[in-house]
A and B are shown apart, each in its own frame.
Chain A
Amino acid sequence: MNIYVLMKQVPVISDIKINHQTFTVDRSSVGTMMNPVDAHAISAAVALKKSLGGTVTVLSMGNESCETQLREAAGMGADRLVRITDDAFSGADTLVTAKVLAAAIKHLGDADCIFCGQASLDGSTGQIGAKLAALLGIGLLNNACQIDIEDKGLTIHQKAGNGYDVWQADFPLICSVTEDANELAPVTLKGKMAAKKAVISVLSNEDLHISAEDSHSPSHIEALFPASRQEVGMKITGSTEKESARKLADILFERHLI
């Protein structure tokens, strides 16, 4: 089985400072981490390898700093680590990112199964799974909260309102996972050694040959601005909480809200 995982380095959102006069974002002191749900994608890939055999390759697009997270992936049981980087891909939106990842997978050897996280913490567009499925012409199992492995493919549960939709697809397929899909095991000592020793290969556009036209991002951020604030509401002040609660109840009854 040729198993791939798409992993993304994300900023620690709480570190991001915003200048509310200029609406600029200061990322200078911002730490980075593995997109949390991606760890569950790696764990799903390792579980599939244990059942059906094969190799787990983790792909990440980014500069050298994302090698820290790729090493974490090795600690979790990934066999092969690949970082994809090129100035031509900087500022790539979801469309260009999906094209680059699709090209990288074709370059490295066709996938039997690809896992990714449901969405990234920083962009949270949740688009990559569906885009790769369309570009590679393979089945999509989206937002898996339970994964059952069969010889021919996977069956997943997906939350849908009052219950679960159960989807099945044969390999080759791509499966996006949620944090409910599996429990993360603590990294073993053997894993820590593997993370230290891991060799990370690097792919650039010299390997992938993506044309200038195809690396053009069609979406552009024109401006950033703060969330608008609602008009200040009414503070209800009683001498005790009991009195405040009564005043609130009176207002809600009067306005037929309850």
Chain B
Amino acid sequence: MGKFNDIWVFIEMSENEPKLVSLELLAKAKELASEAGSHAIPVICPDAANHSPETIINALKTAIEEAGPSALLFGSTPLGREVSAGLSAVMNLGIASDCTNVMYRASDADLLFIRPAFDGKLYASVSLDTTPQIGTFSMGIFPLKDDAPAIQANARTLNLSSDDSTVKARLVKFIEDAGLADSNIEEASILVAGGRGVGSAEGFDKLRELARLLGGNIAASRGAVDEGWISRDYQVGATGKTVTPKIYFACGISGAVPHVVGMKDSETIIAINTDPAAPIFDVAHYGIVGDLHKVISELIEILKQTH
């Protein structure tokens, strides 16, 4: 049995601040390291937006060959995905992507990763027989319980080459878009989500009104998106976005597994459905069996009175 060395966490900096997912993973890595008797090391990627993934991959490869960590955790951000996938290819390493959990196995002195399989119908435990083991995780999988961990202690900062002559893909610019800003549902603290039960595009107007009164946003199941009632940018689930708001209203959503994997970690889930046997009630904290249109209309009235 080998010894389990350091766990590295890729710390993605955005405007000089670490991304929340990086901090969540660092806190998780500290837990794992204390079980394994090793250390969690923040690996800071400074000014990530101005370096190409190739430059970052090369710097990580050099650092890994020098220090020999046992594991490396990434946030499932666009950059985290590109860098982890590329690193896996150039260093011939296995990777477990978009995991929902990870644990330390003392018997094998390694990490065991959990990720959804078959579109979220089942979960798989995945082992990796190459070192460092690489796992990627979305924001909100390990919500911070305490204050964010300090990223300076034990930190290692990547030495990113400023020679850009080898860079093959360049970020030209960022274009703000009001439509995309509106559908940035991952950032919302309250989501009012609708499914096929909403019945029409107009049906979403009521959901939108409730969301506005609560200072939240709307979301949808694949069913409602496929009906053409709402843009795909609002879709929650295995083939859409993963969200972890404080309150998730599931209105007229049956709760099939591919939807549930995208919202089950919300703090409070409220389900409204006419079918008392709908599986959404299995994951809901509060459930109302009834017509969502009547329930939503009444909630809107109540909120209007209290505002």
Looking at B173, B291, B296, which has the most chain A CB atoms within 10 Å of its CB? B173
B285 touches A233 (CB 8 A): yes
Q: How far is it, in angstroms, between the C-alpha of A139 and the C-alpha of B171 when the chains are bound?
A: 12
Q: Which of B5-13, B40-48, B154-162, B263-271 contacts A (4 or more CB under 8 A)?
A: B263-271
Q: Is the interface of A mostly helix, strand, loop or mixed?
A: mixed
Q: Contacts A98-B89, A131-B88, A138-B168 known; A233 to B81 CB distance under 8 Å?
A: no
Closest residue of chain B to A250 (Cβ to Cβ) is B302
* B294 adjacent to chain A (CB < 8 Å): yes
Query: Which residues does chain A contribute within 8 Å of B172, judged by CB atoms?
Result: 155, 166-168
- Chain A residue at minimum C-beta to C-beta distance from B290: A241
User: From A137, which residue of chain B is reached at the shortest CB distance?
Assistant: B168
Chain B contact residues, majority secondary structure: mixed
Tally of chain A residues near chain B (CB < 8 A): 80
Contact present for A163 and B176 (CB under 8 Å): yes
Contact A251:B88 (CB < 8 A) given known A95-B93, A125-B98, A219-B96: no
* Residues of B239-266 contacting chain A, CB below 8 A: 239, 246-247, 257-258, 260-261, 264
Binds A, one of B21-29, B65-73, B114-122, B199-207: B114-122
Establish whether residues B291 and A160, one from each chain, have CB atoms under 8 Å apart when the complex forms. no
Chain A 218-258 near chain B by CB (<8 Å), digits 1 or 0:
11111111110110111111101110111011011100011
Scoring A121, A140, A245 by chain B CB atoms within 10 A of each residue's CB, the highest score goes to A245
Q: A93–B94 contact, CB under 8 A? A: yes
Are A162 and B180 closer than 8 Å at their CB atoms?
yes
In contact, B298 and A242 (Cβ under 8 angstroms): yes
Residues of A with Cβ closer than 8 Å to B?
Answer: 13, 16, 18, 23, 25, 93-95, 98-99, 121-122, 124-127, 129-135, 138-143, 155, 157-170, 173, 179-180, 217-227, 229-230, 232-238, 240-242, 244-246, 248-249, 251-253, 257-258
> B-side interface residues toward A, CB under 8 Å?
53-54, 57, 78, 81-82, 85-90, 92-98, 112, 116-130, 168-177, 180-181, 184, 187, 190, 214, 232-233, 238-239, 246-247, 257-258, 260-261, 264, 268-271, 281-291, 294-296, 298-299, 302-303, 306
